[in-house]
Structure 1
Amino acid sequence: MNGTALTPELLLALLAGGGVGGGLVLFTAAVVGWTRKPATSASAAQQIGRFLRRRAAAALVVGLVVLVVMRWPVAAVAAALLVLFWSSLFGGVAAERAALARVEALAMWTESLRDTIASAAGLEAAISASARTAGDSLRPYLVALDDRITYRMPMDQALRRLATDLNDGGADKVIGQLIQASKLSGEGLREVLTDLSQDARANVAMRNRIFASRSGTRRSVQIVVGVIVSMVVGLRVFNPAYTEPFGTVQGQAVLVVVFGLFAFGLVWLQRLSRVPAPNRFLIDAEGSTA
């Protein structure tokens, strides 16, 4: 592949151009200022800002290392973008585990309601008796539910608020049946809770299988990425003559196309590993979905 070689002078010119562009952005931000966030969301905004700053710093460091080792600006930008969007491509495991833990705790709480209802005066008393003994991932939501009921919020409205707090389609199914069960009493209520606990357990088993299959797909994608990155870096470091044509301007343009196709493949694989969550169907007191 013929073309202009990527000389140190050209590399410095590219870096100088990037520095000038970054300086203009910072100057504009200093003059115009940033839009302030509402005070109510300051804590969440600060946490997100700190996370983004750490991720951006890691991406910058990786990009500079790749630039020094490989001397390919396109590869440096691609590596920085890969680090920056790593969570979007391969993350979400912690959130999935937390949601699964809440659904499993909800199934256990439903079984506790079923066992408590025989000695309690009704569903309200069973909720009060079982709320503070529920699993750690669900206890704060159930304590809030008990407090709402204690302060005379209607049962169906309090349960809808619980569905809004959990924000999970699987939990909506359980809570929707609890709303119907709140209109029953005696043997009918116990039978409904028995069926509900069995259905909740089946939902937990299904979501465990889905989580396991997604973990396998996500791990396969990470292995593919690791092998490809290792191969490219290894060829560049240990056999630079083979990759010399990519050091030209035309070679860098080809790399843009190659890395673009690679990014498209990563996004596609990530979507294959994503299983849509159950749709929400309960609405809150204001009439909007959680």
Structure 2
Amino acid sequence: MTLTPELALVVLVGALAGGGVVLLVAALTPREQAAHVEAPSNLLEQLRGLGRRVPFGIGAGVLVLVLTQWLVVALAVGALVAFWDRLFGGSRETRDGVARIEGLAAWTESLRDTVAGAVGLEQAIPATAYAASPAIAADLQTLADRLRVRVPLPEALQRFADDMDDAGADLIIAALILNARLRGPGLREVLTSLAESARAELEMRQRINAGRRSTQRSVQIVVGVTIVFVVGLSIFNPEYVEPYDSPVGQIVLLFILGLFAAGFMWMRALSKFEMPERFLRSRAAGVVR
């Protein structure tokens, strides 16, 4: 049997649709996690998120393919829909980072006020863990549990730093470790200055994010208008875009879409924060506890 372009297209669309259904089922199937795992794998979370978006990407790609008969554009639109979150700004990562900094600043202030009442760190940390922000509450609760089972305070704080895995948290935790080992005065003043520094960083990030969100919205509008314009021309004025129906036209279209993709990747790189390296690492940081 001869493999015609139409048959190859049907096979490709069927394979994409089957893969999307498999990923969707895998993403929606609940799984029990082992007791010793504290958090789901980052790769597993990415696969689950991709499994939720792939069916929408396949649907959009098939729709564009039916309307335009351009395989290159259909694949590009499908990939754009499937990877929309990654291409346009990593808003979830930005929100998580801001929430973590805000939670650290609030917890530092709460810890400072609790320590001011002549309470030791061993008592102040569990007392402030319950009212902490949800962004850091799980790690703080783990720290409080370790203190309850008599883990030495410096070791518990070091493991807390590994759990947080954040350069901003290292500054605060390092001050707590030094105080736990030396038992010297001035902890309240140090926590005050660290909380003010965290608040200043939070304000700076919020200003930057506000500017970046307007830029991302502009790019999304440009992309949406471009897609609607191209699809509209192929439907209402096919003679104008007839040169793209040929194999050479598809290659030219692939080059144009590659320029768009390069622009998206560049924008994605510009939207990322350059976080400083952590300095409070333990040798057992990579071991699953």
Q: Is TM-score (shorter-chain normalized) higher than 0.5?
A: yes
Letter in 2 for 1:276: E
Alpha-carbon distance between aligned partners in 1 of 2:180 and 2:201, rounded to the nearest angstrom: 21
After superposition, residues 195-234 of structure 1 pair within 5 angstroms as 195-234=193-232
Q: CA offset at residue 204 of structure 1? A: 1.9
Distance 1:178 1:215, change over 3 A: farther
Alpha-carbon distance between aligned partners in 2 of 1:130 and 1:100, rounded to the nearest angstrom: 20
* 1:266 paired to 2:264: yes
Larger Rg: 1
Alpha-carbon distance between aligned partners in 2 of 1:253 and 1:154, rounded to the nearest angstrom: 65
- Residue of structure 2 in register with 1:29 after alignment: none
Q: CA offset at residue 269 of structure 1? A: 1.7
* 1:180 paired to 2:178: yes
Which of 111, 123, 126 pairs up with 1:125? 123
* 1:15 paired to 2:9: yes
Q: CA offset at residue 242 of structure 1? A: 0.7
- Residue of structure 2 in register with 1:282 after alignment: 280
* 1:71 paired to 2:65: no
Q: Secondary structure at the match of 2:275?
A: coil
Answer whether contact 1:72 1:252 (CA < 8 A) is retained.
Answer: yes
Answer whether contact 2:162 2:285 (CA < 8 A) is retained.
Answer: no
Q: CA offset at residue 69 of structure 1? A: 0.5
Answer whether contact 2:114 2:124 (CA < 8 A) is retained.
Answer: yes
Segments of 5+ residues of structure 2 without an aligned counterpart are: 20-32
Q: CA offset at residue 221 of structure 1? A: 2.4
Q: Could you state the TM-score of these two structures normalised by the residue count of structure 1?
A: 0.80
Q: Secondary structure at the match of 2:239?
A: helix
Alpha-carbon distance between aligned partners in 2 of 1:183 and 1:191, rounded to the nearest angstrom: 17
Letter in 2 for 1:245: P
Higher RCO (CA < 8 A, seq sep 6+): 1
Letter in 1 for 2:161: A
Alpha-carbon distance between aligned partners in 1 of 2:248 and 2:107, rounded to the nearest angstrom: 63
Equivalent pairs: percent with the same residue? Answer: 44
Q: CA offset at residue 184 of structure 1? A: 4.8
Q: CA offset at residue 148 of structure 1? A: 0.9
Which of 113, 116, 139 pairs up with 1:115? 113
- Residue of structure 2 in register with 1:140 after alignment: 138
What is the root-mean-square deviation of aligned Cα atoms in Å? 3.2
- Residue of structure 2 in register with 1:98 after alignment: 96
- Residue of structure 2 in register with 1:241 after alignment: 239
Answer whether contact 1:104 1:201 (CA < 8 A) is retained.
Answer: yes
Segments of 5+ residues of structure 1 without an aligned counterpart are: 1-8, 27-38
Q: CA offset at residue 16 of structure 1? A: 4.6
Answer whether contact 1:177 1:196 (CA < 8 A) is retained.
Answer: no
Q: CA offset at residue 48 of structure 1? A: 5.0
Alpha-carbon distance between aligned partners in 1 of 2:195 and 2:97, rounded to the nearest angstrom: 18
Letter in 2 for 1:260: G
Q: Could you state the TM-score of these two structures normalised by the residue count of structure 2?
A: 0.81
